A and B are shown apart, each in its own frame.
Chain A
Amino acid sequence: MSEARRGTGPEPTMDMTNKEVMKRIEYTGDMLLNMGPQHPSTHGVINFLVQTDGEVMKRAIPEVGYLHRSLEKIAEKCTYNGYMPYTDRIDYIAAMFANQGWAMAIERLLDVKVPRRAEYCRVIACELNRISSHLVAVGTMSMDIGAVTPFPYALREREFINDLLEELCGARLTYNYLRIGGVAFDLPESYGDKVLTFVDHFEKILVEFNRLITYNEIFVQRLANLAPISPELAIEYCLVGPNLRGSGVKFDVRRDIPYSIYPELQFDIPVGRGELGVTGDCWDRFWVRVAEMRESCRILRQCIAQIPEGETMAKMPRKIKVPEGVEASVRIESARGDMQYYVIGGGENAYRCKVRTGSFTAMGIIDPLSRGLMVADLVALIASLDVVAPEIDR
């Protein structure tokens, strides 16, 4: 940037569009860095317009929309059962939750009572999926900090879960396991023992994982006190799930707006305590995910012990029809937090479907938090919010 061009225009302001901001940055004499859409650590196709002065970042503006597939519009065009595979694509790291949200929304529209065994199957599948999703989150986060080994370790454990889920529903990534009114398949033979074997093994691995990376001195130095989100700020920016709990707010849809069989299960809700820095820093968000995996293990043990015999599918008509104009809104606790389905019935297909996801709201807080951080910290911040690109854009 030549001296002549330095300072010949006003600073970019908040109400400008991204394009205008890009033009302005050129006049300030700072460097405009396009981080993404093809960048190793943006966790998908997201672009960040980064205004930097050397290594120090003045601002990072997320630019989303590269992965928009009109999933909400598709819901208006296909049948209620036919939309189930599409929900897998909303968040492919944790597809089971999107399944569950859609199924629950239509069940509420139709006022269907799901059999108990099916609810247990759902919770087992979801909690397995929560562990696998958090494994990806903590694995990629440690890789973004530069530690490569925790990532294969996490993925190795995720493979066990993928095997379990494959045995359950035949798919390893986009499950399409849930049905409106129940689940597609009952648990296979001796499935509970397999899950318990995995849980026993995995709880030991968590200890090893904590030794390897969570309490690693360099890792803590990088993440503690970095980009702290106060509880008030987290609520203001509508953060949900582990990001919100990382800031010390004890809110979990599973406990506060109970659904399925969660009220009957015993589990704690880990919240960030500022153990090694201030409350709500990147390390807290990392730690909350590690702690949630342990809680999911607890839930799995209880489910396996309590699961009743019986049907796995409620009596449903072959072709589902919902009266026009009936509305339903359900909230579930996805791996990325509060996932909300708002559906208006419209005969054979939905009149309107709106999905509210955690990653999208998390993108909003990156701009205010990024000011004054370093470029390397932006990578840590994005990773700590655990955004998944398809969930942002849908």
Chain B
Amino acid sequence: MQAFLDSLIRGWGHDPQTWVWTQLIYVAFMGLFSFAVINFAAVTAGIFSWAERRVAGRMQSRVGPNRAGPGGFYQWIADAVKLLTKEDLVPTEADQFLFRIAPYFMMVGFACVFVALPFSHRLVIAEMNVGVFYIIAVTALIVVGIIMSGWSSNSKWSLFGAIRSAAQIISYEIPAGMALMIPVLLSGTLSTQGIIRAQGPWPWEWYIFHDPASFAAFFIYFISALAEGNRTPFDLPEAESELVSGYNTEYSGMRFSYFFLVEWGNMWVMSALATTMFLGGWQVPFLPVTDAADKIAMLSGGWTVLAELASIAIFTFKTLFFVFIVMWLRWTLPRIRVDQMMNMCWKYLVPVSFAAVLFVAGWMLVIHAVPALDWIMRIVLTAGGAITLVMFWLRTLQNIKDTGDKFDFTSNW
């Protein structure tokens, strides 16, 4: 983004190195961008809250919100207005200061992630050379907010939720971090944009199908991200049937909505990160340029704009697809128990993720010696993935046939 601002200043006829207002321009634009990013995060979270209720309604053969606006789309605005105008209640017994400040920690930890998350080929707030590391680091702020809210509420249910959440998020950060190290190993950079550039537009060029270990790493990351985002089957910190509402039991009004903003916004974060690291990000296929590392940058004129828009569309599509998968999981699976959650992390995911990193390091040496193996492995894995999808589809058809289900996509509008 600094390069963009520098070129802007040059366009105005000044040298950014010497012009006195350069720093001020930087600050002004950073303020503008952060405003845009926070709004993007909040609006996405709001829309997801509507989408999730519609998806849940569809899956549970009921209607879901459909009164406010077309298909109930303005429901999230109505909810936001309601929550904003509600009384901000703080329990008498609560630790006032911590209770009030806890939601901000969550919000900050969540919004900061967007700084390094790419949206398209050029659209990224800061192309950091430590992007992945930065994302893992700022995500940890959320757990601070959760513990604060749980402790300061002075409610036993909140405390239960907070301690569960702390144990869960801290545990699952290890397999998630190790799984994210695999694309970093393969691409040789921590920059999110760099990792996307190192992949290609086609499935066999993505890191998920690079080798068996990175295939496993994708699922390890996805499971861990579910756990870090407190999503089913890892929604123990806010287990409604066990802990009333978990760490946010005592909250109301705007502060309560922050927690849910973060939860729903996190779906975008985890899906966008999965897309970036394993699924080729914004890479656009069928580009007229053939031999360049960054093909979109080599285009000119109207093609640049088209390719840029296409890259946004592709990235958004992949991300929303995973957001849908996350919702789908939530409305299908039961919740696991707290000891099973810990077992799964420390007994299975952590060892497997470490082994995967070692395997990938070894594999890189192997394909360096025998480059043909690289392509054979990619094609085999992609074919395997395709076969799995076909089998999944056949199984779904079989289920529909067995239970006499009928398709009726228009019924709940």
Contact = CB atoms under 8 A, between A and B. Distances in A.
**Binding partners A and B:** yes
A216 B334 CA distance: 8
Interface in A219-237: 219, 221-222
Contacts of B338: 55, 374, 376
A149 B239 contact: no
Contact of A40 (B61, B164, B241): B241
Interface residues on A, range: 35 or more
B336 interface: yes
Nearest to B239: A146
Contacts of B56: 148-149
A78 B241 CA distance: 40
Contacts of B244: 39-40
Contacts of B235: 146
Contacts of A196: none
B13 interface: no
A67 interface: no
B300 interface: no
B71 to A, nearest CB: 20
Interface stretch (B24-32, B101-109, B314-322, B397-405): B397-405
Nearest to A34: B156
A387 to B, nearest CB: 15
Label chain A's interface by main secondary structure.
helix
Interface in A189-235: 201, 204-205, 207-208, 211-213, 216, 218-219, 221-222
A41 interface: yes
Contact of A149 (B332, B335, B340): B332
Contact of B336 (A204, A207, A221): A221
Nearest to A216: B334
Given A41-B242, A149-B59, A156-B61, A204 B334 contact: no
Interface in B232-254: 232-233, 235-236, 239-242, 244
B157 to A, nearest CB: 8
B167 to A, nearest CB: 10
B151 to A, nearest CB: 14
Contacts of A207: 402-403
A79 B193 CA distance: 81
A147 B333 contact: yes
A149 B331 contact: yes
A375 B160 contact: yes
Nearest to A221: B340
Given A148-B60, A204-B404, A376 B242 contact: yes
Contacts of A213: 334
Nearest to A201: B404
Contacts of B332: 147, 149, 212
B61 A152 contact: yes
Contact of B232 (A146, A201, A219): A146
Contacts of B336: 146, 218, 221-222
Interface of B: 56, 59-62, 156, 160, 163-164, 232-233, 235-236, 239-242, 244, 331-340, 399, 402-405
Interface of A: 31, 33, 39-41, 54-55, 142-149, 152-153, 156, 201, 204-205, 207-208, 211-213, 216, 218-219, 221-222, 374-377, 379
30 contacts: A40-B241, A41-B242, A55-B164, A142-B334, A144-B242, A145-B334, A146-B239, A146-B333, A148-B60, A148-B331, A152-B62, A153-B60, A201-B404, A204-B402, A204-B403, A204-B404, A207-B403, A208-B399, A208-B405, A212-B332, A213-B334, A216-B333, A218-B335, A221-B336, A374-B339, A375-B242, A376-B335, A376-B337, A376-B338, A379-B242
Given A33-B156, A222-B337, A379-B241, 13 more contacts: A40-B241, A40-B244, A54-B163, A145-B334, A149-B56, A149-B331, A149-B332, A201-B404, A204-B402, A208-B402, A218-B233, A374-B339, A379-B242
